[in-house]
Structure formats: structure tokens, C-alpha cells
Amino acid sequence: MIERKILRTDFVKGNAYLIASHVDLIEAVKICRSKGLKLGEDVGLVTYNDAPMLEVIENGITAISVNFKQMGVLAAQFINNNGHIQTYVPTRLIVRGSL
């Protein structure tokens, strides 16, 4: 099920959640804290696009992320060559304490 708004009642022990935005991730962490749910034990959280803050929130938040450096190089090539690029940028799962 895809939810557009995070509700306190959405978080249930034994489930894992994929949170699309970092703003919603912060709200999810707050809700879990208020309900006494421990990340990585009671519930799992995964988000997109790794960031340094994800290493330090709680015991670390698991992220699905592309290689932003490689994406920047490809964007520069696109601009410099005035052409089209169709390629695959590798995606990785960075497992941390929230899962």
C-alpha cells in the first residue's frame, strides 16, 4: 500500500517501511519514538538517497542510493557533448541499524 501522509497508526510492530522523503523519515522516527518502537528491532525503516545524517539518526537509517558522483560526471558529459546519454547508474542498498 502506498500512503501519501504518514499517520501515527501506520506504524505497527513487525513491519518495515520504505519512506520516500527525508522530511517524512524524520516524522516516522518521531512517531516510532512516541510509540516506543525500536528501529531495527520492532520496525524497519528504509529511505532513498543516502546522506550523512542517515548515519547518525538513531542507530543509522538504511538507504537505497545511486552513486551521485557518477551521476554528476554523466551530467557534465551530457552538457559538454550536447548529446544524449542513456545509461544505468548503479544503485546500492546501504544497510544500517534501522533494518
DSSP string, the chain: ---SS--GGG--TT-EEEE-SHHHHHHHHHHHHHTTPPBTTTBEEEEES--THHHHSTT--EEEEE-HHHHHHHHHHHHHHTS-------EEEE--TT-
| Band (3; pLDDT cuts 50, 70, 90) | low
| Band (85; pLDDT cuts 50, 70, 90) | confident
pLDDT of residue 1: 56
Number of domains in the chain: 1
With pLDDT > 70 as the criterion, what percentage of the chain qualifies? 94
pLDDT of residue 2: 57
Q: Which domain holds residue 63?
A: 8-94
Residue 99 within a domain = no
Task: Tell me the pLDDT tens digit for each residue of 33-68.
Answer: 999 999 999 999 999 999 999 999 998 999 999 888
pLDDT of residue 79: 87
pLDDT of residue 4: 66
Residue 2 within a domain = no
Residue 3 within a domain = no
Residue 1 within a domain = no
